[in-house]
Amino acid sequence: MTETTKVNLLGLTQPQLEGFFESIGEKRFRAGQVMKWIHHFGVDDFEAMSNIGKALREKLKACAEIRGPEIVSQDISSDGTRKWVVRVASGSCVETVYIPQAGRGTLCVSSQAGCSLDCSFCSTGKQGFNSDLTAAEIIGQVWIANKSFGTVPAKIDRAVTNVVMMGMGEPLLNFDNAVAAMQIMMDDLGYGISKRKVTLSTSGVAPMIDELGKVIDVSLALSLHAPNDTLRDRLVPINRKYPLAVVLDACKRYISRLGEKRVLTVEYTLLKDVNDQPEHAAQMVELLRDVPCKINLIPFNPFPFSGYERPSNNAIRRFQDLLHQAGHNVTVRTTRGEDIDAACGQLVGQVMDRTRRSERHIAVRQLGDEAAPSPSAANRT
């Protein structure tokens, strides 16, 4: 058997791993043992699995592997924020950002290298689509992040307590792999993260929101960015296919399935003189009138040739106040981590051409709720 035919166990869910062990003539319970070694202890060498006999270890070495994406670089900010550039099998690079805050650590995970959706304010979108990440490459980002803090037994002071699928790419367009990775995140044999603390962010792929609701109950965030179809058609082109009414209906269906007073997170990047005016706030209030939600405002983080500007602090405050006055729970994302580069909306450009970097900010929203709002930097939401 050659290297290329080995099964990468890193990206297998528990049922898939049980199926794998059955397929090689072994007991299904081996799956639990191996998952713990992989995800609880960060092991990638079968030889280290001391509760597995030598014969099985040899068998596994012959037909399987545990392989995360290749780490190209790791930066640690003076404020504790960490950023990894990792190379995936397609040869593309993606980035992962870890944001530590009091009592929690949130990891922003990428699901695709590049993105096909071309949101007009997003640098990742401007790079175009390169490849889907495999489930192993998605969960591998969590694996790498936790490993960077050393070996930690299950559920004891894990570094990553929250995950937001808000890095590069549209996770609902890489559905199966994103779902598998999130299942491993939530599995006690994986990372044991609460369903409330795993958040998938979508630009509004309405049919897949319904599909998501059939298979998983993670928290949901919608990248709204415009309060009417005319403007959203321009800023978030997928809106031409799935307009606001269709997307919000799908979000409401998803949220209502979750029950337990869970709400939609609405992401809204504020662009100076484009979507930051009082009439936009008024339209947003009307649009979200019957949507259980909280709103995260994201002041635009400029990048070269974007054509957009960040609104003034006064304009940001005015917009927030108007939403507050209408009874919405609104947070404004803050920036931090000036000593490393981690702007997700600008990630591909930075990886491809570091000389073009003009911004050195990690932007994180204020994390004041339990649904793990995005730390994803800049303008990728």
φ/ψ region of 169 (left if φ > 0, alpha if ψ in -120 to 50, else beta) reads: left
User: 40 among the known binding-site residues?
Assistant: no
User: 301 among the known binding-site residues?
Assistant: yes
Q: Give catalytic status of residue 95 as yes or no.
A: yes
User: 223 among the known binding-site residues?
Assistant: yes
User: 130 among the known binding-site residues?
Assistant: no
N residues, the chain:
381
One-character DSSP codes across 24-89: TT--TTHHHHHHIIIIIT----GGG-TTS-HHHHHHHHHHEE---PEEEEEEE-TTS-EEEEEE-T
Q: Give catalytic status of residue 63 as yes or no.
A: no
Q: Which is nearer to ligand SF4, 140 or 349 (CB)?
A: 349
Which two structure tokens, joined as six digits, stand for 37?
A: 């070694």
Rounded CA-CA distance 96/145 in Å is 8
Binding to ligand SF4 by CB under 6 A, coded x per residue (else -) over 116-155, reads -xxx--x-xx------------------------------
Rounded CA-CA distance 98/87 in Å is 17
Backbone angles phi, psi at 51, to 5 degrees: -95, 15
One-character DSSP codes across 231-246: HHHHHSGGGGTS-HHH
Residues 181-220, interacting with ligand SF4 (CB under 6 A)? 203
User: 169 among the known binding-site residues?
Assistant: yes
Q: Which is nearer to ligand SF4, 118 or 187 (CB)?
A: 118
Nearest distance, CB of residue 121 and ligand SF4, angstroms: 7
User: 225 among the known binding-site residues?
Assistant: yes
Residues 280-319, interacting with ligand SF4 (CB under 6 A)? none
What torsion, rounded to 10 degrees, do the Cα atoms 301, 331, 171, 137 define?
Answer: 80
Is residue 178 a contact residue for ligand SF4 (CB under 6 A)?
Answer: no
Nearest distance, CB of residue 205 and ligand SF4, angstroms: 9
Of 95, 137, 267, 359, which residue is the catalytic one? 95
Q: Which of 19-27, 163-171, 272-280, 309-317 is the region at the interface with ligand SF4 (rule: CB under 6 A)?
A: 163-171
Is residue 115 a contact residue for ligand SF4 (CB under 6 A)?
Answer: yes
What torsion, rounded to 10 degrees, do the Cα atoms 66, 87, 360, 310 define?
Answer: -100
The secondary element (H helix, E strand) that includes residue 208 is: helix 206-215
Nearest distance, CB of residue 225 and ligand SF4, angstroms: 8
Of 108, 137, 344, 359, which residue is the catalytic one? 344
Q: Which is nearer to ligand SF4, 101 or 374 (CB)?
A: 374
Annotated binding residues: 115, 119, 122, 169-170, 201, 223-225, 301
Which residues are tagged catalytic?
95, 344
Give residues in contact with ligand SF4 (CB under 6 A).
115, 117-119, 122, 124-125, 168-170, 203, 223, 380
